[in-house]
Amino acid sequence: MSKLSQRHLLGIKDITREDIELIFETADNFKEVINRPIKKVPSLRDVTIANVFFENSTRTRLSFELAEKRLSADVVNFSASGSSVKKGETLLDTVNNILAMKVDMVVMRHASAGAPHFLSKHIKANIVNAGDGTHEHPTQALLDAFSIREQLGGVGGKKIAIIGDILHSRVALSNIFALKKLGAEVMVCGPATLIPKFISTLGVQVELDVAKALEWCDVANVLRIQLERQQLKYFPSLREYSLYYGISKKTLDNLKKKIVLMHPGPINRGVELTSDAADSPHSIILDQVENGVAVRMAVLYLLAGATN
Ligand code: CP
């Protein structure tokens, strides 16, 4: 079996183009498996995986759990709310206690950037970053790029616009790393206050006008306004954001060409996307969710192979 270059998946920054292609080829096989009447394979039998979530999640958490169960792994779930974290237990103590119960892999979401990197230096289990603060969300970027490849036959040379709150988005950063490694042209678009100053050093174009970004791109990956991470006011009101940056089905229908509409979820309906855009034939939002299970199966399977 081919192997990944890393024993953890902490970020897309750390992995190679060959790693990404290997994950996609493996996910192609798992996508076929999860569409069969019998959706389970014994690949991770006797492997125990802990999903350790210190921050809210719907898609990522369910998707990892399903991926693990489809691979026949034993699964334990931990969420910070209702745990001894509330009594003051540290991250390292929490995870070491979970590992003492003979856990092989830890899938972790945490509000602090770098939390999974810290853990990887202190524990033996494989770590998968399921989102760390405003830093990286590697499996989201992998499933996004996998979905683009599926829709357009490849990622290299395609024009991808990432639109919205780039400043607070771990999805944006991981997507930029993945798409650039795969040879795509990448543009970020949003209000100037929501675009970090350093972003052009990553080799992406910056566009403040969403109409121009939509005319330019083959794929629009629209991001949520992350109100929970915004201590300051970056724009006057959600209504004004929606007026200038919100995308409707009519906007998409009126473009000179067909583009693919993506969103990592959760959607703020009526803010970055109208409901008729999110549910339109342009949208592949639920295909992204379906692909997330196959891509996460591939990541877990390959990481388990890296240590066995
Ligand atoms: N896309 C994403 O990470 O969604 P959740 O926060 O629901 O996991």
d(CA 185, CA 181): 10
pLDDT value for 81: 83
Q: Which helix (H) or strand (E) holds 116?
A: helix 115-120
| Measured distance CA(239)–CA(13) in Å, rounded | 35
Strands 126-132 and 159-163, by their bridges, are unpaired
Domain count, the chain: 2
Task: Write phi, then psi, for 264 (nearest 5 degrees).
Answer: -75, -15
Q: Which residues pair with 107 in a beta bridge?
A: 51, 128
99: nearest Cα among 119, 129, 72 = 119
Does the pLDDT of residue 308 top 50, yes or no? Answer: no
- The candidate with the shortest Cα–Cα distance to 21, out of 146, 176, 157, is 146
Do 45 and 104 fall within a single domain?
yes
Residue 231 has pLDDT above 90, yes or no: no
Q: What is the pLDDT of residues 13-23, one digit of tens each?
A: 999 999 999 99
Q: Are 221 and 283 in contact (CB under 8 A)?
A: no
Q: Which residue is it, tokens 């899938």?
A: 107
pLDDT at 64 over 60: yes
pLDDT at 71 over 80: yes
How far apart are the CA of 103 and the centre of ligand 1, in A? 24
Predicted local confidence at residue 82, as pLDDT: 77
* Rounded distance from Cα 254 to ligand 1 centre (Å): 30
* pTM for the whole structure: 0.95
Rounded to whole angstroms, the Cα distance separating 186 from 164 reads 14
281 shares its domain with 300: no
Question: For residue 112, what pLDDT is reported?
Answer: 95
* 177 and 284 co-located in one domain: yes
Distances (CA, A) of 114 to 46, 131, 173, 286: 29, 10, 14, 29
According to the model, what pLDDT value does residue 150 have? 98
Q: pLDDT digit string (tens) for 91-142? A: 899 988 988 889 999 999 999 999 999 999 998 899 999 999 999 999 999 9
> Is residue 149 domain-shared with residue 244, that is, in the same domain?
yes
pLDDT digits (tens, 9 = 90+) for 202-229: 999 999 999 999 999 999 999 998 777 6
Residue 211: other Cβ atoms inside 10 A: 14
| Structural domain for 77, as ranges | 12-135+289-306
d(CA 106, CA 122): 13
Note the pLDDT of residue 248.
97
Question: Which residue, by CA, sits nearest to atom 5 of ligand 1?
Answer: 57
Query: For residue 96, how far is the Cα from the chain centroid?
Result: 26
The number of beta carbons lying within 10 Å of the beta carbon of residue 245 is 23
Q: How confident is the model at residue 306 (pLDDT cuts 50, 70, 90)?
A: low
| Tokens coding 93 | 């103590």
In a domain, 5, yes or no: no
Let me know if residue 299 belongs to a domain. yes
Residue 1 located in a structural domain: no
Task: Indicate whether 87 pLDDT > 90.
Answer: no
CATH code of the domain in which 208 resides: 3.40.50.1370
Residue 65 within any structural domain of the chain: yes
Q: Is 59 in the pocket of ligand 1 (CB under 6 A)?
A: yes
Token readout for 187 is 């543009």
Q: Kindly report, residue by residue over 142-164, the tens digit of the pLDDT.
A: 999 999 999 999 999 999 999 99
What would the pLDDT profile of 32-48 be if each residue is shown by its tens digit?
999 999 999 999 999 99
Is the CB of 57 within 6 Å of ligand 1? yes
